Amino acid sequence: MKRIVSISLGSAARDYRVTTTVLGRNVAVDRIGANGSVARAAELLRSFDGHADAIGLGGLTPVFRVGQARYPHRQAIQIAAQATRTPVVDGAVIKATLERWAIAQAARQLPSLFRYQRVLLTSGIERYQLAAAIAQHDAELRFADPLIHLGLPNLPLPRTLAQLELYAATTLPITALLPYRLLHPVALGQEGHDSRLTSLFQWANVIAGDFAFIRRFAPQDLSGKSIITDDPTPAEIEDLRQRGVTTLVTMTPPLSPERPFMAADVLEALVTAIQEARSQPGEAEVLDFITAAAWGPTIQQLNPRPRPKFAFVVHPLRISLVANDPRFRWTRHLPARLVERAAAYMPPLYVSKIRGIRSTATGEESEGILLTLGATPREMMRREPSFTYRRLIRAARMAERMGAQLMGLGAFTSVVGDAGLTVAQKAAIGITSGNSLTVAATLEAAKQAVTLMKGGRPTKVRAVVIGATGSIGAVCARLLAQAVGDVILIAPRPERLLALKQQIEAETPGARITAATHPDAYIGDADLIITTTSSLSGNVVNVDKLKPGAVICDVARPPDVKPQDAARRPDVLIVESGEIVLPGAPDFGVDIDMPPGTAYACLAETALLAMEGKFEDYTLGRNIEIERVKEMYRLWHKHGLQLAGLRSFGVYVTGEMISAKRRLAAERRRHMGLPEEA
């Protein structure tokens, strides 16, 4: 049986003796702590020299390897030199091979573990290779080296590998002349919590590094954190569970039931002993050994919890809404235009958690998070699309960091620029504009409204789509052509109108399709007008020209028809685009200006995709696929969503309202000398 000994500057309270089997070879492992005494560590090396197959140095690094540079520490080298017959290793090759492999495997199994996360590395000079591996995954890094090794709270923390290398070049040549225990505070044999890193631990989503440092400096509350480390004991793992750690990645496989995980120096000593090497093994030998032994990380979900599965981005439709947020009440005392311009530059902000949405098909709850940008529609429209793209991409990264796998674009964020395509290309999670369900809900609401105003299912309906060449308008027009056969397309660009007209006529032979750039000549004969523009003026529909008893389905946000205009035509029914009642007991965490449990269709599509488990890009760009609209119809019914009652300017449409409008429409027709409706 092979025997290896790990001699550590750390506490003897963590000593252990186990036997393990690797590649068919039995190995006895002893870990002996020196309680911070370098003299005791040197004595232990001399005593085991020639009586073990390999010796590991725990908490002792004779040569720090940072970037391409090497920084020897005088005292650590002297300690290692006490053994002349038994090979002495410090784990450097394992850190450069197995630990990098472990990070790659962990990132593959948990794609959101590092991407856009805030990662605290307890010591970059001790685990440079670990830092380099994590830095490949778009993480925001902080290195605690100045606080841990030097105890200097005012020294700037390195944030990049380059800054870490500069820090090492500045400090390690000096500290190499000092007693090693000053560089390695946990080697003092002291137990208990050191609070100097508390704020950094609170900042981080992920903490990575030597478990001795994590044990010493971590605060009691680690709720929601992920930890990447080397050798926690079963009792310490249970302690992490009790403190709220969500994910624990141990960079080694379990090798023994009583002491599953062992530090890098132990593993390197184990490789050295089994290979019967006379010195520290080379990288090639270790890589071959890792492959043969099938070593890799151990990932444990210590506190599995419901994660937000989707996110939804909103923004204020008017600047007065900014002051409704308690964080910004003070803005009501400032000039509105100043606030509006300044708010546009705000980064994405977390608003609330969305709970209680529960599918009737699966019984599972889909959670979400609500985020907001600060820009109003006016600010978005007066700027280049890239201005909004940048903020949406930041929102997507923020959403992913909070556990979302899909993000929906609300209001103007879904129509700016290329309607989500650029954001989807830059985001690692699925993106949807929500426009497929918006179309489905709009057409269903329009059908119900026309049926009510006509007193039954009408045999003949003429429809006008204003904003017909937009993403929502185009697919509404295509589906309306199949349903009613007589559609007028209104949009400002003739070339796009002609292309859409030809497409619809090819899809629906026999349909009567008219194209025009202005609606006034046509709305007087229309039974249904669907408006889907991005106009901010509201002067889209001349209500004075509307046919008595007409229906307007206003999809636009802000609305295309203003209440003061609608007041001039009480005989016309103006409804909002179809809103959706979500299943379960939805709680949005804030007032979204909708009745309880009700959401705009764009938000509902995002939640519906989460219920179905479709965490991929869905509705994007200007060309909404009809098949996806039809799929929304199917999933809508599968998971128990319902169309909310028709609303007109925030008020539910009642039977009395419909009767009054039909009576007023009949009176107007008689006054105008028009025939009664069939």
- Please give the structure tokens belonging to residue 303: 């506190």
Looking at residue 277, its amino acid is A
Q: What are the residue boundaries of the structural domains of the chain, listed by start? A: 2-89, 92-301, 310-434+601-612, 437-580+647-672
Please name the amino acid found at residue 655: G
Give yes or no for residue 307 having a pLDDT over 80: no
C-alpha 519: how far from its chain's center? 42
Bridge partner list, 22:
25
591 pLDDT above the threshold of 90? no
**pLDDT band, residue 186 (cuts 50/70/90):** low
584 pLDDT above the threshold of 60: yes
Q: Report pLDDT for 534.
A: 64
Q: How far apart are CA 664 and CA 504, in angstroms?
A: 35
| pTM value > 0.75 | no
* Percent of the chain residues past pLDDT 70, beyond the cut: 97
Cα angle at 457 between 455 and 461, to 5 degrees?
A: 100
Beta-carbon-side half-sphere exposure of residue 519 (alpha carbons within 13 Å): 29
Q: What class, spelled out in words, does domain 92-301 have in CATH?
A: alpha beta
- Residue closest to 477 by CA, chosen among 629, 587, 251, 347: 629
**pLDDT higher than 80, residue 241:** yes
Secondary structure element (H or E) that encloses residue 20, with its range:
strand 16-22
pLDDT tens digit sequence for 503-561: 999 999 999 999 999 999 999 999 999 998 866 555 788 889 999 999 999 887 677 78
Coarse DSSP helix, strand, coil percentages of the chain, rounded to the nearest 5 percent: 40, 20, 40
Sheet containing strand 118-121, strands side by side: 140-143, 118-121, 206-208, 226-229, 247-250, 298-301
Decide if 57 contacts 79 (C-beta within 8 A). yes
Residues 6+ apart with CB under 8 A from 658: 452, 453, 573
**d(C-alpha 589, C-alpha 355), whole Å:** 8
More confident call, 325 vs 4: 4
**Options 3.40.50.720, 3.40.50.150, 1.20.1530.20, 2.60.40.1120; which CATH number does 437-580+647-672 get?**
3.40.50.720
CATH code of the domain made up of 310-434+601-612: 3.40.50
pLDDT of 184 > 80? The answer is no
pLDDT for the residue 308: 67
Section 65-72 average pLDDT:
93
Q: What single letter denotes the amino acid at residue 652?
A: Y
CATH 3.40.630.10 given to domain 2-89? no
Same topology, domains 92-301 and 437-580+647-672? Answer is yes
How confident is residue 402, by pLDDT bands cut at 50, 70 and 90?
Answer: confident
User: How much is the average pLDDT of 236-251?
Assistant: 95
Residue 207 phi, psi (nearest 5): -115, 125
> How high does pLDDT run on average in the chain?
89
* Bridge partner list, 298: 250
Q: Are strands 140-143 and 206-208 parallel, antiparallel or unpaired?
A: unpaired
